[in-house]
Structure 1
């Protein structure tokens, strides 16, 4: 059996990667339950260090809680803006979330009791976070393939969310994920469109054998 995907299957994988966008604008209509189940299953099939599967997914269906989470993000958005100094006003003009408009609101979190997992984490305990990021990326690419937008919101106070979501000691929220239907996908990353930042040249991100000297850049 050939190990390589067909030309069309390979093209679909790369298309999902290159057309994935961090979405902020949504159409408030429900996400089909079967599609949502597929996306969660895709996240659950992500790689994880030591096969610890540290992700925990909270589906927010209570509208009062959705509003409370949105309020928490708004408070931290102001604090973030204040910390940006001269770029404060520019930042405040950016749309940084679509929490009240998306069809589904999910919180991706780290499990409690992670200290017992040593495999792959003895010298790099943060690899549990890397594993959760892989689960988010799986869901993101699958959502794009399903024609749904997803946005990652990380502007929040961790302890405030932990309290709102009644998390046990040791558990930690990582991302609020806005998921839902969109009118269109951004042609380029939104922060590029808004001139906030631009994709680095790939040559600046890769070197051979050793860390590049500053005069090699």
Structure 2
């Protein structure tokens, strides 16, 4: 395969930096089958430990099923708000946030993890069992970036009960829900993530997240060139 051209690189980085966790701004427009196929196929071509491909994608349009999930979100959101009772200002800020688009989006997708796929022995998973879930997360990121390139917004709803999802979607006991996603065309992709824009948390400097050779080492002389670039 040939190297990426300049415009191709720009397209990749544009998708990465303009991807958003979409909770609002969904419009009433269906995702064409060919577009949805490309998004799902990109997800299916993610790397996976031992080439185990342990994901499934449950596609949900049914309003009744989505309402069950929305009800689970409402219960879990109320529980989260109560956890902030000692921080009234932050509790009020949390209560005002729009955190899902379950009913407004064109499509919901539940991405699951099946640890039994291709048998009990998975090459590379014998020492770190969580690599199976990490593989599913790689598929989710592929899906998200492909969707952004297609102009489709994606929102990950994590304020949910997995037990509720398992019941609503008839998920077998050995399969684990990993992500519940809302997909749809949107009015716009915001220039900044919602939680950064409203001041919930700031964007952390990359320099604070990069260590050199050992944990906590941020200023080694032999890495000065990269260190200057990161700054």
User: TM-score, with normalisation over the residues of structure 1?
Assistant: 0.93
Displacement after TM superposition at 1:34 (Å): 0.9
Using the alignment, how far apart are the partners of 1:112 and 1:28 within structure 2?
Answer: 36
**Is the 2:76–2:159 Cα contact (8 Å) retained in structure 1?**
yes
> Which residue among 103, 111, 114 is the counterpart of 1:111?
114
SS at match of 1:106: strand
Moved over 2 A (4+): 112-115
Contact 1:39 1:142 in 2 (8 A): yes
Q: 1:42, 1:138 within 8 Å by CA — same for their partners in 2? A: yes
The match for 1:9 is 8
Q: 2:193 aligns with which of 185, 189, 196?
A: 189
| Residue 100 in structure 1 maps to residue 99 in structure 2 | no
Give the corresponding residue for 2:33.
33
- 3-state DSSP class of the match of 1:116? coil
Q: Structure 1, residues 147-190: CA drift from partner, whole Å, max 9, x if none?
A: 11111111111112111111111111111111101001111011
Residue number among 127, 130, 134 corresponding to 2:134 in the alignment? 130
Q: Which structure has the bigger radius of gyration?
A: 2
1:88 paired with 2:91, answer: yes
Q: Does the 8 Å CA contact 1:112/1:169 hold for their aligned counterparts?
A: no
Residue 18 of structure 2 corresponds to 19
1:78 maps to what in 2? 78
Rounded Cα–Cα distance in structure 2 between residues aligned with 1:127 and 1:175: 16
**2:111 counterpart SS class:** strand
Q: Is the 8 A contact 1:57 1:106 kept in 2?
A: yes
2:81 and 2:149 map into 1 onto residues whose CA distance is 34
Check conservation: 2:61, 2:106, Cα contact below 8 A: no
Is the Cα contact below 8 Å between 2:211 and 2:217 reproduced in 1?
A: no
Q: Within 1, Cα distance between the matches of 2:96 and 2:157?
A: 16
Closer, same or farther: CA 76–117 of 1 in aligned 2, 3 Å: farther
* SS class of match (1:123): coil
Q: Which residue of 2 aligns with 1:174?
A: 178
The alignment status of 1:121 with 2:125, answered yes or no, reads: yes
User: What does residue range 142-161 of structure 1 map to in structure 2 within 5 Å?
Assistant: 142-161=146-165
Q: TM-score, normalised by structure 2?
A: 0.88
CA contact (8 A) 2:46 2:135 kept: yes
1:49–1:120 contact (8 Å) kept in structure 2: yes
Shift of 1:54: 1.0
CA contact (8 A) 2:63 2:103 kept: no
Shift, 1:61, TM fit: 2.2
